[in-house]
Chains A and B, each alone.
Chain A
C-alpha cells in the first residue's frame, strides 16, 4: 500500500503516513456504494442526521433544506467527500481538507460531477490552524483513530474552532464487540478501519475521547451510539449502544 509517493501526503506531526497512504491506495472507490467504503455509505444518513440534529440544536437553526447557510464549516479528514457534499447542499460555507492529495483529487472531481463548488485542500489541521483559519463547525468523523498524535491533533482542532462553535466527532470504540465487527469487518463491515494489533490500540473508548477533549479545552457531550441492524444494513442513533461506533459533540 505504499505505492503513494511521500510528497503527495501533507506532512505534520499528526499525520500517520502509512494510514494516509492506505486511504490514497483505495481512493478511486470512495464513491462506489458497493466498494470498500460501503459501510461509510450505509452509515451516511445516520451520521448526517446526527450532525444536523446537533448543529441545529447548538445554533438554534430553522428546520429548512438549507439550515447551514450562515455557518462556516470545516470537514477535516474529508476523504472522498462523502460528508462534504451533503454539508454543502445544506448550505454550509465549507472548507474540506485531507492529508492525502489523491483523496482531494477524487473528491474534487466528484463534486464537479455533482455540480457542487467545494473548497477542497490538501493540508492538515495544524497547517490550517497556523494559517489562522477558524470555523463555526468542525466535522471530524472517522479520523481520530487514524492520526499519529491525538492530543496535538485535538489542540490544533481547538484553535480552528471559533468561540461558541461546535465540533462533531465519530470513531470506533475499543470493545470486543467493535473488535469482532472490525475483524469480520475487514471483509464485510467496517472496512475502512486501520489494520493490525498496533492500530487496534489507537481506538478510543468514549471515556478516553472525552478526557482527551477536555484536556484540549473542549466541553464534550455524552456519547451517542450508531447502532447497526444487519437486516437491511441500516444504522440508527442510540443512547445506549455505543459499543461499536459512536459520536460525540464538543463545544469550544
Chain B
C-alpha cells in the first residue's frame, strides 16, 4: 500500500458514531469522503467493543432519520415514554412524560452496537465514502488550501477539509495544538445490561445515590441498560467481583420494582470526566463529537451533543458548498465553531452543576434539591423547559434537528 495517494473532498479521522454520521451526511450533500479508523471494522461491531447504550433525544432521532440511518436501527430502539428522577431514599419525584408535550416519545434507547451496525448498513448504499481501517494516522500537514493525512502504512489522503471525530483523546486536536479544559469527579461509570421479570413500561429512572447518579434505562424487551456512577477507588473492587456478587450489588441499587433481575453480557467501566476543547476549528480542520467535548453521562447528552455538532457542521458545509463557496475556509468553519461552542459550554456547565449537586449526601444540599425537584415538578412551564431540553428541541436548531432536509 505504500505510496498510495487518495484525494477526497473531506477526510474524517475516527469512524465512531459521530464520524460515521458526519460522513454519511457529507455524502448526502454530494461530497466525497475518506474515513480513517485505527480499529478493524469487525471489532467496532463486536459484542465486547462497546457495552454502552445511548439515550437518543427526539431531535437526534430526527437527524438519524434525515440521514437514512434510523430505519436500520428502529427495530432495536426502545421509546422512552417517561423519565422519573428521584433523589436517593427520599420520596420526591420529578417526572416527565410524553403526554405533557405530545408529539411522540421523549427519545429512544439504543445499544451503541446497533447504531454502529445501522451506520455500516447505510454505508453500503454509498459509493462516495472510502473506509480505511485499521489505519493509524502518522502525520497531518495543512496548507492554506488543503489538509493532508499520511497514515502509518504510507497512504496519503488530501482534502479540502479534515475532521477530527477521533474521540476524547483526539490526535487531530493535539496536532492542531488546541488546548482542552478538563476536570474529573472522582467517579467512574460502570455499565451493564440487565434482564428483568416485569416490563419497564418505557420508563427511564435516574436516581441520585450518594456515590453518584444511578440510571436504569429501558431497552427493547424486558431488558434495561444500567449506568452506575461509582467513586473511583471502589470501582476496581466492584469490577473484580464474581458474577453473583456483582449481581447482588446491582440488585441492592436497582431495587425490586422490576421483579427478579439478572445481569446479562459483560460489564464495562468508563472514567467520567468533563472536557471541552478551547476552540472547535483551525485552518482546514474542525473537531466534532467527543473530540471537541466530553461530559458526565448524568444527562445522557454526550452523543446527543455530538449529533448536534454533526447537524450544525453539515448545515454550514451544505450552505457553502451549494453556492460554490470554499466549505473548508475560515468563514464556514467559524460559523460552525461559533454556533456549537456556546451551546456546548451551556450544556457542560449545567451538567457540571447537576453532577456536583447530586453526587452529594450532605443533608442541607439534599433538602434543597428535593425542594427543587418538587418545585420543578409542579411548575409546568419549567418542566416543559426541562423536557424540551431532554428531547433536544431547544435553541437555534440546525435544519436536520428540526426534521427538515439538509
Chain A partners chain B: yes
The residues of A with any CB-CB pair to B shorter than 8 Å are 33, 41, 44-45, 48-49, 51-52, 64-65, 85-90, 113-115
Query: Is A45 in contact with B320, judged by CB distance below 8 angstroms?
Result: yes
Q: Once bound together, how far apart are the Cα atoms of A45 and B324, in whole Å?
A: 9
Q: How far is the CB of B79 from chain A (nearest CB, A)?
A: 34
Residues of the B chain whose Cβ atoms lie less than 8 Å from the Cβ of A51 = 323
Inter-chain CA distance A114–B145, complex, in Å, is 6
Checking B29, B319, B330 against A33 with a beta-carbon cut-off of 8 angstroms, the contacting residue is B330
The proximity string for B residues 303-330 relative to A, scoring 1 for CB distances below 8 Å and 0 otherwise, is: 0000000000000000111111110001
B325 touches A45 (CB 8 A): yes
**Smallest beta-carbon distance A204→chain B, Å:** 26
Q: Find A48's partner among B29, B323, B331 (CB 8 Å cutoff).
A: B323
Q: Is the CB of A52 within 8 A of B323?
A: yes
Contact A65 B145 (CB under 8 A): no
Q: How far is the CB of A237 from chain B (nearest CB, A)?
A: 12
Q: Main SS of chain A's interface residues? A: helix
Chain A residue contacts of B326, Cβ below 8 A: 85, 89, 114
Assess A90 versus B145: contact at CB under 8 Å? Given A41-B331, A65-B30: no
Interface string of B7-34 (1 = CB under 8 A from A): 0000000000000000000000111000
B window 321-379: CB within 8 A of A:
321-326, 330-331
The chain B residue sitting closest to A114, CB to CB, is: B145
What is the CB-to-nearest-CB distance from B312 to chain A, in angstroms, rounded to a whole number? 15
Task: Flag B130-161 by CB within 8 Å of A: 1 or 0 each.
Answer: 00000000000000110000000000000000
Report yes or no: A65 in contact with B323, Cβ–Cβ below 8 A: no
Contact of A86 with B145 at beta-carbon distance under 8 Å, contacts A64-B30, A65-B30, A65-B31 already known: no
- Nearest CB of chain A from residue B341's CB, rounded to whole Å: 15
Q: Which residues of B contact A64 (CB under 8 A)?
A: 30
Task: Identify the 3 closest CB pairs spanning chains A and B, nearest first.
Answer: A86-B324, A48-B323, A89-B324
Identify 15 residue pairs between A and B in the complex whose beta-carbon atoms are under 8 Å apart, listed by A's number.
A45-B319, A45-B320, A45-B323, A48-B323, A48-B324, A48-B325, A51-B323, A65-B29, A65-B30, A65-B321, A85-B326, A86-B323, A87-B324, A89-B324, A114-B145
Chain A residues, Cβ within 8 Å of B323 = 44-45, 48-49, 51-52, 86, 90
**Cα distance A227–B45 in the bound complex, in angstroms:** 50
- Complex-state Cα separation, A51 to B322, whole angstroms: 11
- How distant is the Cα of A52 from the Cα of B319 in the complex, in angstroms? 12
Chain B residues contacting A88 (CB-CB under 8 Å) are 324
- A51-B321 Cα distance, complex, nearest whole Å: 14
Contacts of B144 in A (CB 8 A): 113
Q: How far is the CA of A87 from the CA of B323 in the complex (A)?
A: 8
A114 to B29, CA, bound (A): 21
A198, B133: Cα distance in complex, Å: 66
A211–B12 CA distance with the chains assembled, in angstroms: 52
Q: How many residues of B contact A (CB 8 A)?
A: 15
Q: How far is the CA of A33 from the CA of B145 in the complex (A)?
A: 16
Residues of B within 8 A of A89 (CB): 324-326
Shortest C-beta distance, A171 to chain B (Å), equals 20
* Segment 144-191 of B: residues with Cβ below 8 Å from A: 144-145
C-alpha spacing A44/B330, complex, angstroms: 14
Collect the chain B residues with CB atoms within 8 Å of residue A87's CB: 324
List the B residue with the shortest CB-CB distance to A41: B331
- Besides A48-B324, A48-B325, A87-B324, 4 other A-B contacts (C-beta < 8 A): A41-B331, A45-B319, A113-B145, A115-B145
A85 contacts across to B, CB distance below 8 A: 324, 326
Q: How far does the alpha carbon of A49 sit from the alpha carbon of B326 in the complex, in Å?
A: 14
CB distance from A247 to the nearest CB of B (A): 14
Out of A44, A113, A115, name the residue touching B325 (CB < 8 Å): A44
Residue among B322, B330, B331 making CB contact with A65, cutoff 8 Å: B322
Residues of A close to B320: CB separation below 8 A: 45
B323–chain A nearest beta-carbon distance, Å: 4
Q: Hey, which chain A residues are within 8 Å of B319, CB to CB?
A: 45
CA distance A65 to B322 in the complex (A): 6
Task: Assess whether B31 is in contact with A86, with CB atoms less than 8 Å apart.
Answer: no
Closest to A44 in B: B325
Task: Tell which of A45, A48, A49 has the most Cβ of chain B within 10 Å.
Answer: A45
In whole angstroms, what is the CA distance A52 to B324 when docked?
Answer: 9
Q: In angstroms, how far is the closest chain A Cβ from the Cβ of B329?
A: 9
Give the CA-CA distance A90 to B331 in the complex, in Å.
18
Residues from chain A with Cβ under 8 Å of B330 in the complex:
33
Q: For the complex, what is the distance from the CA of A30 to the CA of B170, rounded to whole Å?
A: 36
Q: Which residue of A lies closest to B323 (CB)?
A: A48
In angstroms, Cα B324 to Cα A114, docked, is: 12
Contact assessment for A90 and B324 in the assembled complex, using a CB-CB cutoff below 8 Å: yes
For residue A91, which residue of chain B has the nearest CB?
Answer: B324
A33 to B332 CA separation, bound complex (whole angstroms)? 12
Q: How far is the CA of A65 from the CA of B321 in the complex (A)?
A: 7
Most buried by B among A44, A64, A65: A65
Q: Which residue of B lies closest to A88 (CB)?
A: B324
Chain B residue at smallest Cβ distance from A115: B145
Q: Which residue of A lies closest to B326 (CB)?
A: A114
Chain A residue contacts of B324, Cβ below 8 A: 48, 85-90
- Kindly provide the distance from the CB of B316 to the nearest chain A CB, expressed in whole angstroms: 10
Residues of B within 8 A of A33 (CB): 330-331
Residue in A51, A88, A90 whose Cβ sees the most chain B Cβ within 10 Å: A90
CA distance A89 to B323 in the complex (A): 9
Query: B152 CB to closest chain A CB, in angstroms?
Result: 28
Q: Which residues of B have CB within 8 Å of A65?
A: 29-31, 321-322
